Structure 1
Amino acid sequence: MRNQHTNPASRLRRLARPAGLALSALMVAALAGCANYAGIHSDKQIAGAGDYAATQSIPTAQGRWPSPDWAGQFGDAQLKALLAEALQGSPSLDKARARVAAAAAVSESANASTLPQVGFGYSWNRQRFSANAMTPPPYGGSWQTENKAVLGASYELDLWGKNREALRASVSALRASEAESEQVRLTLGTAVVRAYNELARLYALLDIARDEVAQRAAVLRLTDGRVRMGLETEVEKRTAEANLATSEVAVSALEGSILRTRYQLGALLGQGPDRGLAIARPSLGAGDEVRLPDNLPADLVSRRPDIVAARWRVDATLHDIKVAKAEFYPDINLSAAIGLDAFGFGRFLRAASGTVAAGPAIHLPIFDGGALRAQLKGRYAEFDFAVASYNETLVNALADVATQLADIRATDAQIANAVRSDEAARRALALALAQYKAGLTTQLTVLNAQTNALASAQAVANLRMARRDRQIALAAALGGGYADTPDGAAQVALAR
């Protein structure tokens, strides 16, 4: 006699054979009836660095790309420590790290969708069955305890690559988030160095203003002596007092600006305003010679984190388009379950309590009112936007490098002229003071000489600090030492 308690695995194999035949028939019918995405495409392409004319504006000079510690060229140990502190404790970087972690979690979730899913469940249920319903005696009208344990597995065949493309899209989005995090680091580091340079500029102007106070105090003493000798009137004395007071006001204003800049640096460091008060006076050097590296436009696309991030965003949208296209085809899922189901504990572990289920599940989009076509159009719109954003970022990056370089060259020429003007103004002031002491000229001549000397000294200080600021901005425009790995370069192609 045939064994009536067939092994559950044998049942599963018997169920799988007709299920496979049914699956094949359903796939043929599904492909014949699936929705259509004909006519939906994009003709947008990302631009290459060579597509934009820049050889005249960005001449190469066999220079080097900035290193990650590019701020060290200014020779200020305190600045190096401040940068490390800012990159360690800034809330802005904490936000960027959180975004990267979120993107990594999405990528892990997308990877899980490509793998089989296995689960186990157990349930215990105490129930009184109706004597007048479907449950026959002896169970009808009695209390029974049902024990059920099921081990189930499911797997989406992913014949059209939807899950694989979703995984690739999530990986590209993760790479974009990582590059954007590097852009935040670069932006923060640049802001710290520029604020530090502004602090140095204010201290240089403060020195000039204090020298001016000392000079005008000396003129006031000379004028006071000349008044007592009857060589000057009270008008000249009051004028000298007013000029001294004006210079003292300038000193106070600069001291206030220095305090505000210290508070700004404290915030950039991710600390309170008191942290800025502990910063010593900067001692910045001139920095390295400015020479652009060769093949700059072509290499810039992998040296600036904002360009790299934009490129990865384009790549992610390409995979999203393929996901949207796969939605037009049927989803095919295979599932199987094996377990035990019985009333009471006594029969629960017997072979007769075994239960087996297996089969395919297919979802076929036939008519959805145009929802899938609208979704694909939206993905292509996102792709067009990502391409335009990339091209815009590249154009702005090239303009940024050219602008900073032009400003540096122009400032160098201005500094040379300003230094000559300052030297002449200093000699004129020294001569005017000597003549005033000897009674050979008027106070007005001295005041004019002082005004010219003050303006020329301020001009030299401002130009030198502006030149260094442009040098800092150029290092940032060249990527600040960032470099995308060769194996991580996004291979972006035209989506059709």
Structure 2
Amino acid sequence: MTAAAMMAWALAGCVNYSGIKSEKAPAAATAFETTQSLPSEGGRWPSLDWAAQFGDPQLPKLIAEALEGNPSIAQAQARLAKAQSYIETSRASLFPNVNGSYSITRNRLSANGIFPPPLGGMWYTENNALVSASWDLDLWGKNRARLASAVSQRKAAEADVQQARIALASSVARTYNQLAQLYALRDIAAREVANRNNVSAITRERVTAGLDTNVEKQTALGNIATTETTLTDLDGQITTVRYQLAALIGKGPDRGLHIAEPALSRTAVLALPDNLPADLVSRRPDIVAARWQIESAMQDVKEAKAEFFPDINLSLAAGFDALGWSHFLTSSSRQFNAGPAIHLPIFDAGQLRAQLKGRYADFDFDVAHYNQTLINALSDVATQVESIRTIDREMGDAQRALDASSEAYRLAVIRYKAGLSPQLQVLNADSNRLVAEQTVTNLTMQRRDLQFALIRALGGGFDAQSAGIDVPIAAAVPASAASAVSAN
């Protein structure tokens, strides 16, 4: 058998993969410049219960309800289960395969054929029972590489499940914040109706006193109707967003009608965690999934390389074969065969080389995808951070504008009531105050929305090591990954 293996090795040299390799390698997070845009500020990474920090007990409950029943999570979990089935299938190839069979055949030989009587022209029954076993020795690690690839795919699927959970939780939070924004704008509109009713009452008094005309009276009434229209429109938008929340949590639209008015607290001061670029690769599940795809592609390359070497398969079969029943299970009816089967890739018109090139192409694609995912992640974090800081700078000016316009409106109403200024001055002051109040509210809600987006950009509390899907060193260190794949 040793001589046969050596001969097979020599013959296999006719087909080789020389010259086929890859120079690609996954980028390190520290290779990108982020010190100015993402400075270390001693902040903390988001925790899995990040929603609780916003002070509204309804939000964590809605997120939990969404994670329990949303179809998108069920889809991700189904993909995970399918990946697990690939592992079980691949693992089975590492062990001997045993099968049993039994057949019974009723035959009649021709009386005018090659078998003379008494065999010719008679009926007989043939019984055949056989137990067979085979085992691929996997000398070059092809099956082991296939199993490792399946394990990597399952790890990637686990990360995808976490990514789906984080995306869903973020979507629920941001839609909930949109609901809070609409309620805040509705409160402003309701107060505006009261303000314009007050102005209308003053106008009626002035009309009675002969200080205003019916023009000012109708203008005041028109402004009230316009604000009430805005109030009705906001009520419709609130109902629509409730339906959107119900869909996110995987329920019918009626579920959204039972969601209470949000009571979110003001957002906290922004502080980025230390060592952000390096730690981000294990905090974002999309990056972790992309790294496991590289590991899977590396194993696929190893499997393709093993195809260039001889396959040795041991086979064994034993059983009974007899005509009729009388001698079927006797020692004289025993049958037995055993021996190795050797597959020699001598000439295949370039099929194996083409297959290996395809696996390297998949590896290069996965490396490029990982690098792009990492770049996008860093850009995502930096974008959310800068947007929040911009709003913080805007908020001071917006609040001063609101304070000034509110005081101007108050004084305008006093002067109008005293007959010292026309209605137009009150309406202009009211319009300025209304815009300023809406601006402050929108900026506040936009900042919270960006904070939800930043929590998602930072991984939403995910930690690959805690989840048991941290990537091995071979894929985490670019130099090791490149040498492992290109080695002959």
TM-score by length of 1: 0.93
Q: Distance between the aligned counterparts of 1:135 and 1:161, measured in 2?
A: 51
Q: State the one-letter code of the partner of 1:489.
A: V
SS in 2 for 1:488: coil
The match for 2:85 is 105
State the Cα deviation string for residues 287-343 of structure 1 (Å, max 9, x = none): 443221111110100000000000000111111111111122222211110111111
SS in 1 for 2:133: strand
Shift in Å at residue 22 of structure 1?
A: 7.0
State the Cα deviation string for residues 408-443 of structure 1 (Å, max 9, x = none): 111112112211211111111111111111111110
Q: Which residue of the other structure, out of 318, 323, 336, is the alignment partner of 1:356?
A: 336
- Are positions 1:248 and 2:241 aligned together? no
The match for 1:426 is 406
- Are positions 1:467 and 2:450 aligned together? no
The match for 2:246 is 266
Q: Distance between the aligned counterparts of 2:405 and 2:463, measured in 1?
A: 48
- Are positions 1:489 and 2:471 aligned together? yes
Q: Which residue of the other structure, out of 71, 91, 102, is the alignment partner of 1:122?
A: 102
The match for 1:175 is 155
TM-score by length of 2: 0.95
State the Cα deviation string for residues 87-143 of structure 1 (Å, max 9, x = none): 000000010000000111011101111111011111112211233445565433221
Q: Which residue of the other structure, out of 119, 124, 128, is the alignment partner of 1:148?
A: 128
The match for 1:7 is none
- Are positions 1:282 and 2:282 aligned together? no
Q: State the one-letter code of the partner of 1:296.
A: L
Q: Which residue of the other structure, out of 5, 8, 12, is the alignment partner of 1:31?
A: 12
Contact 1:23 1:360 in 2 (8 A): no
Change (3 A) 1:456 1:206: same
Q: Distance between the aligned counterparts of 1:314 and 1:342, measured in 2?
A: 56
User: How much is the aligned-residue C-alpha RMSD, in angstroms?
Assistant: 1.5
Shift in Å at residue 369 of structure 1?
A: 2.2
Q: Distance between the aligned counterparts of 2:16 and 2:162, measured in 1?
A: 41
Q: State the one-letter code of the partner of 1:448.
A: N
Change (3 A) 1:124 1:465: same
> Which blocks of at least 5 consecutive residues in structure 2 are unaligned?
476-480
SS in 1 for 2:235: helix
Q: Which residue of the other structure, out of 52, 70, 73, is the alignment partner of 2:50?
A: 70
State the Cα deviation string for residues 67-90 of structure 1 (Å, max 9, x = none): 101111001111111111000000
Contact 2:402 2:437 in 1 (8 A): yes
Change (3 A) 1:91 1:487: closer
What number of residue pairs does the alignment pair up?
476
Change (3 A) 1:299 1:153: same
Change (3 A) 1:461 1:136: farther
Counting aligned pairs with the same residue, the percent is 54
Contact 2:12 2:308 in 1 (8 A): no
Q: Distance between the aligned counterparts of 1:89 and 1:389, measured in 2?
A: 31
Q: Which residue of the other structure, out of 307, 310, 320, is the alignment partner of 2:287?
A: 307
The match for 2:390 is 410
Change (3 A) 1:45 1:348: same
Shift in Å at residue 462 of structure 1?
A: 0.6
Q: Distance between the aligned counterparts of 1:284 and 1:274, measured in 2?
A: 23
Q: Distance between the aligned counterparts of 2:396 and 2:355, measured in 1?
A: 61
The match for 2:275 is 295
Shift in Å at residue 219 of structure 1?
A: 1.2
Q: State the one-letter code of the partner of 1:445.
A: Q
SS in 2 for 1:226: helix
SS in 2 for 1:39: coil
Q: Which moved more, 1:381-390 or 1:237-246?
A: 237-246
Contact 1:66 1:479 in 2 (8 A): yes
The match for 2:63 is 83
Q: Which moved more, 1:438-447 or 1:279-288?
A: 279-288
Q: Distance between the aligned counterparts of 2:453 and 2:405, measured in 1?
A: 32
* Residues 431-470 of structure 1: pairs in structure 2 closer than 5 A: 431-470=411-450
Contact 2:12 2:345 in 1 (8 A): no
Shift in Å at residue 21 of structure 1?
A: 6.2
Q: Which residue of the other structure, out of 378, 386, 390, is the alignment partner of 2:366?
A: 386
- Are positions 1:376 and 2:349 aligned together? no
Q: Distance between the aligned counterparts of 1:233 and 1:187, measured in 2?
A: 58
State the Cα deviation string for residues 337-392 of structure 1 (Å, max 9, x = none): 01111112210110000000112222222222222221111111111111111001
The match for 1:139 is 119
Change (3 A) 1:135 1:455: farther
Q: Which moved more, 1:462-471 or 1:215-224?
A: 215-224
SS in 2 for 1:342: strand
Q: Distance between the aligned counterparts of 2:197 and 2:410, measured in 1?
A: 15
Q: Distance between the aligned counterparts of 2:427 and 2:205, measured in 1?
A: 17
Q: State the one-letter code of the partner of 2:106.
A: R
Shift in Å at residue 229 of structure 1?
A: 2.1
